[in-house]
Amino acid sequence: MSSSLRLEEVTPDNVLDACRLKVRPEQEEFVAPVARSLAEAYVQPEIAWPRLIFDGELLVGFVMAFFMVRFDPDNPDDTPRSGLWRLNIAAGQQGRGYGRFAVESVCEEVRRRGQTRVTTTWGLGEHGPEQFYLGLGFRLTGEKSGEQVVGVLDLTGV
Long-range contacts of 63-72 (CB under 8 A, 24+ apart): 63/7, 63/87, 63/88, 63/102, 63/103, 63/105, 63/106, 64/37, 64/40, 65/106, 65/109, 65/110, 67/110, 67/113, 67/115, 71/143, 71/145, 71/150
Task: Tell me if 64 sits within 8 A of 86, measured CB to CB.
Answer: yes
Other beta carbons within 10 Å of 128: 18
When pLDDT is cut at 50, 70 and 90, the band that residue 158 belongs to is low
The answer on pLDDT for 10 being more than 60 is: yes
When pLDDT is cut at 50, 70 and 90, the band that residue 75 belongs to is confident
- How far lies 89's CA from each of 18, 45, 109, 114, in Å? 11, 22, 19, 27
Q: Is 79 exposed, middle or buried (0-12, 13-18, 19+ CB in 10 A)?
A: exposed
Q: Is 112 exposed, middle or buried (0-12, 13-18, 19+ CB in 10 A)?
A: exposed
When pLDDT is cut at 50, 70 and 90, the band that residue 72 belongs to is confident
Give the whole-number percent of the chain exceeding pLDDT 90. 87
The answer on pLDDT for 121 being more than 80 is: yes
